[in-house]
A = this chain, B = another copy of it.
């Protein structure tokens, strides 16, 4: 008897059994279909990158949030990708000359963060990214917001449930200028303002003082004040209006994003109840492609992870019974024949060879009623029933929705089934 071990998935990662995977595919299919409809082309990069792809722009501080490693006997440091933008900037930089202007890319890979797992945050997660590269106008910003809204809409969310909150880094930048916050502290200032809701007020204030932000109360008062759309965001608002998106969007100064590389538009997607973390976030990063060796290239993008999105969809009752996302068979083959060779495998193989999704019972029972029950549970469209008429070279085809049935010669079975399915 072999030695017995009990194993679980690593902390913060997930096993996807069929029903779970079907829900994941439902979300991924929405991401993919809407991205394609909006003219984005799918790409992908390696699951791990050279570690310095991440440290070069974020400093060594980011290393503790990464899973990093070397090959046994190797001397190169790698890290599991924590986000896609550095990979995208690297890929664009090395192919820039051959790419259209603008380039619209999307991807749906998995990402990794060595953080403590909590509600909405796991160590491995799936994330959709969509980016427009090589267009500095508000049109590109609006296209990124449009594809984001398209995804939310396709998954059943409306502007009552979810908002796109938009800001421009320059708005806050001017306030920080006014307060004479040192240039080199700006990335930390954004990181702090971004983390505000998660920190207790004393800790927040102490950190603000460390960074050298004077009059933090004045700054927060200004940030939280109701603000009209500023002139610098007017072209974006016009472009959003053209796309019928104003219903979904709010201008809000408190949105700054914590990531260092944003240069203009920043935005986040939030559920209106405030119960969950941000569903998505993005912005403009006009210097990153150049930093990775490419030509000066404006760019703007969005990222939406699967973990918070699934929570929000569940909160709103937008994920039905997981089993309904499983692919439904076209045909379920049923046999009542108790003697002689089992005719099912041959018929199943024949129908599958025509590209059909075909299943049959795995139970020994030859009770036709029970097998019809199994076919219904699997949500099959048709049943092919093999009974006494098989000796005459015939089978019965039954439409499981209408109950309609007819006897068909075996050599016309595939043709008859195809016709019944196309009804």
How distant is the Cα of A9 from the Cα of B63 in the complex, in angstroms?
19
The answer to whether B7 touches A292 (Cβ under 8 A) is: yes
Shortest distance from the beta carbon of A133 to any chain B beta carbon, whole Å: 12
How distant is the Cα of A4 from the Cα of B293 in the complex, in angstroms?
5
Q: B residues within 8 A CB of A43?
A: 15-18, 21
The answer to whether B44 touches A291 (Cβ under 8 A) is: no
Shortest distance from the beta carbon of A15 to any chain B beta carbon, whole Å: 5
Closest residue of chain B to A99 (Cβ to Cβ) is B17
Shortest distance from the beta carbon of A275 to any chain B beta carbon, whole Å: 27
Within 8 A of B (CB), among A84-119: 87, 90-91, 93-95, 100-102, 105, 110, 112, 114
Closest residue of chain B to A91 (Cβ to Cβ) is B15
The answer to whether A345 touches B239 (Cβ under 8 A) is: yes
Q: B residues within 8 A CB of A47?
A: 13, 47, 80, 110, 112, 124
The answer to whether B7 touches A50 (Cβ under 8 A) is: yes
Binding stretch for chain B, among A164-172, A177-185, A251-259, A351-359 = A351-359
A243 at interface, CB cutoff 8 A: yes
How distant is the Cα of A10 from the Cα of B68 in the complex, in angstroms?
13
Q: B residues within 8 A CB of A42?
A: 18, 21-22, 25
Q: B residues within 8 A CB of A233?
A: none
Q: Residue among A25, A43, A95, A142 with the most chain B CB within 10 A?
A: A43
Closest residue of chain B to A33 (Cβ to Cβ) is B355
The answer to whether B293 touches A5 (Cβ under 8 A) is: yes
The answer to whether A67 touches B56 (Cβ under 8 A) is: no
A38 at interface, CB cutoff 8 A: yes
How distant is the Cα of A355 from the Cα of B291 in the complex, in angstroms?
37
Binding stretch for chain B, among A71-79, A155-163, A196-204, A401-409 = A71-79
Shortest distance from the beta carbon of A407 to any chain B beta carbon, whole Å: 24
Closest residue of chain B to A122 (Cβ to Cβ) is B46
Closest residue of chain B to A74 (Cβ to Cβ) is B114
How distant is the Cα of A92 from the Cα of B360 in the complex, in angstroms?
22
Interface residues on A, range: 35 or more
A14 at interface, CB cutoff 8 A: yes
A287 at interface, CB cutoff 8 A: yes
Q: B residues within 8 A CB of A4?
A: 290-293
A391 at interface, CB cutoff 8 A: no
Shortest distance from the beta carbon of A82 to any chain B beta carbon, whole Å: 13
The answer to whether B345 touches A242 (Cβ under 8 A) is: yes
Within 8 A of B (CB), among A1-47: 1-11, 13-18, 21-22, 24-25, 33, 36-39, 41-47
A150 at interface, CB cutoff 8 A: yes
A53 at interface, CB cutoff 8 A: yes
Shortest distance from the beta carbon of A294 to any chain B beta carbon, whole Å: 9
The answer to whether B91 touches A10 (Cβ under 8 A) is: no
The answer to whether A94 touches B18 (Cβ under 8 A) is: no
A139 at interface, CB cutoff 8 A: yes
The answer to whether B46 touches A124 (Cβ under 8 A) is: yes
Closest residue of chain B to A94 (Cβ to Cβ) is B8
How distant is the Cα of A76 from the Cα of B9 in the complex, in angstroms?
12
Q: B residues within 8 A CB of A1?
A: 290
Given contacts A48-B112, A242-B346, 9 further A-B contacts (CB under 8 A): A2-B287, A9-B90, A10-B78, A13-B46, A15-B43, A21-B44, A22-B42, A67-B78, A146-B349
17 sample A-B contacts, Cβ–Cβ < 8 Å, listed by A number? A5-B52, A5-B293, A7-B53, A8-B90, A13-B47, A13-B48, A18-B42, A25-B42, A37-B352, A38-B358, A48-B80, A64-B72, A68-B72, A135-B362, A142-B345, A243-B346, A244-B349
